[in-house]
Structure 1
Amino acid sequence: MHPVRPESFARYVALGDSSTEGIDDPDGAGGYRGWSQRLAERVDAAQGGGLLYANLAVRGLTTRQVRERQLAAALTMRPDLATVFCGTNDVTAARFDAAAVAADIAQMQRALVEGGATVLSFTLPDLTPLMPLARLIAPRIAALNTALAEASRASGAILLDFAAHPVATDRRLWSEDRIHANAAGHARIADALAQALDLPGSDAAWRTPFATPLTQTRWQWVAAEARWARRHLLPWIWMGVRGRSMADGRGPKRPVLTAPLAGPASRMNAG
């Protein structure tokens, strides 16, 4: 059973990794906007202001690291709205423990719900339509989504099942790296979460496929695969070989509660 939602929200805290940080949705000022920021703006506008928003996300973190580094800080802010989205860095790691990921997600959701927050999470679609190599991790993504569903049922969090909708893997919603949403993708995620909260003006249009199919010649496909491997796959492999993480030296995107349209308190993750 989901908690009764208040007529308005006072404090929204976002926990997660690079997706929550908003990577590949530029804000025009050297940082990233992202679906979390977009959702905060929607909530604030819908209730006529009054929302404070913090984003504790750091790119490159696993689910365990999100719990260890962000949950305590989030709870001190006493949010009545929270989002928890992570797991991409777990399914792409050398080893993946679905049970451990499920336990960490459940602990975060449960603690936030017990603290009085409406908590939102969402599933990760199978990335195979975006990159053929993703078929190697497709079983892990399926296990992650099962873990999310079980955790959400147990905690009372609201789970939005993006993976159930084919448009979720339309390349026009993804950045060139095929791991992060682009600006249009972040906008769709925000629209979906707004509908989950029954915000005024929200609807199910985010599920609607594009009016025209995406076509690609064989040569265009080969060229795109080669470009992706050179620009993204090989650097990612090299980073792993060196034992490096994108999280190295980075702090939370927006570590204190401020009005959604105010500048973030930290630009450490810009670029």
Structure 2
Amino acid sequence: MQTNPSPQYTSLVAVGDSFTEGMSDLLPDGTYRGWADLLAARMAAHTPGFRYANLAVRGKLIGQIVDEQVDVAATMGADVITLVGGLNDTLRPKCDMGRVRGLLEEAVERLAPSCKQLVLMRSPGRQGPVLERFRPRMEELFACVDELAARHGAVVVDLYGAPSLGDPRLWDVDRLHLTAEGHRRVAEAVWQTLGYDPGDPDWHTPMPATLPPGWAARRVADVRFARQHLLPWIARRLTGRSSGDGLPPKRPELLPYEGPVA
């Protein structure tokens, strides 16, 4: 049986916010790994001399991504660029979706001609009241992603449409970022979208059902979430600060990948 040849991509640049930085896939040394690092490791194992840059910084809005990351990524000449942004904007109480769409379009128009393959995403959404509150904005953003991809030859990784990634068990206690297993599944989804042979064809399959936590355990988790994550997040919104203020890009230069090989 004849199989399709695997793609020969030699470099990857990741652009975005905390999702692409890798929160909350925490390593023992206190740094974050995440789906982009996992993807780079697999691509490096497939292609000797593979190069990787990750410009993502947590908390960035789409305007900041355009101003601080897009032109840098466009000048690197990478084979593959991933762009995920705009979701932080949709979670703000006041969000100008027309401006978000315009900035996303600007980013795609700059990045698509500068690489062999631009990758966009429909981001995953955790089941619960937060998703329901912001679902209309998110779906407006994702419709824009689909339209831009069709117009500019980008591919779209549909994480929003994967039931498995809505499972609360794949989300960290902050309820905003994926666990290590969630990031692994995202890396697999991007890997397959790029045309590589699947290592896990069932990444989108829901996890086996388990008994939900009891009422008392849920209340304890709610209190911890509010104290450790929700209240600091609200404080940053009220003071105009971001969790990424002053932080440099995760991996600012397009250099040979020398991390663990998948």
TM-score normalised by length of structure 1: 0.88
Match of 1:232 among 205, 229, 233: 229
Establish whether residue 188 from structure 1 lines up as the match of residue 185 from structure 2: yes
Shift of 1:154: 1.7
- Partners of 2:38 and 2:135 in 1: CA distance: 29
Establish whether residue 256 from structure 1 lines up as the match of residue 237 from structure 2: no
Amino acid at match of 2:76: M
1:113 maps to 112
For residues 212-223 of structure 1, the aligned pairs below 5 Å read: 212-213=209-210, 215-223=212-220
Structure 1's unaligned 5+ residue stretches are: 264-271
Match of 1:141 among 134, 138, 141: 138
Residues 46 and 199 in structure 1, CA contact (< 8 A), matched pair in contact too: no
- Partners of 1:193 and 1:139 in 2: CA distance: 25
Shift of 1:210: 1.0
Residues 19 and 58 in structure 2, CA contact (< 8 A), matched pair in contact too: yes
Shift of 1:6: 8.7
Shift of 1:109: 2.4
- Partners of 2:28 and 2:124 in 1: CA distance: 28
1:18 maps to 18
Aligned CA distance change for structure 1 residues 7 and 138 (closer, same or farther; 3 Å): closer
Percent identity over paired residues = 35
Aligned CA distance change for structure 1 residues 166 and 200 (closer, same or farther; 3 Å): closer
Aligned CA distance change for structure 1 residues 141 and 93 (closer, same or farther; 3 Å): same
Aligned CA distance change for structure 1 residues 106 and 221 (closer, same or farther; 3 Å): same
Residues 18 and 56 in structure 2, CA contact (< 8 A), matched pair in contact too: yes
Residues 9 and 81 in structure 1, CA contact (< 8 A), matched pair in contact too: yes
- Partners of 2:160 and 2:167 in 1: CA distance: 12
Structure 2's unaligned 5+ residue stretches are: none
Count the aligned residue pairs.
256
Residues 46 and 200 in structure 1, CA contact (< 8 A), matched pair in contact too: no
Secondary structure class of the residue paired with 1:244:
coil
Shift of 1:262: 4.3
Match of 1:161 among 151, 158, 162: 158
Amino acid at match of 2:147: E
Residues 15 and 71 in structure 1, CA contact (< 8 A), matched pair in contact too: yes
Backbone CA RMSD of aligned residues: 2.0
- Partners of 1:7 and 1:14 in 2: CA distance: 18
- Partners of 1:244 and 1:169 in 2: CA distance: 28
1:205 maps to 202
1:95 maps to 94
Residues 7 and 195 in structure 2, CA contact (< 8 A), matched pair in contact too: no
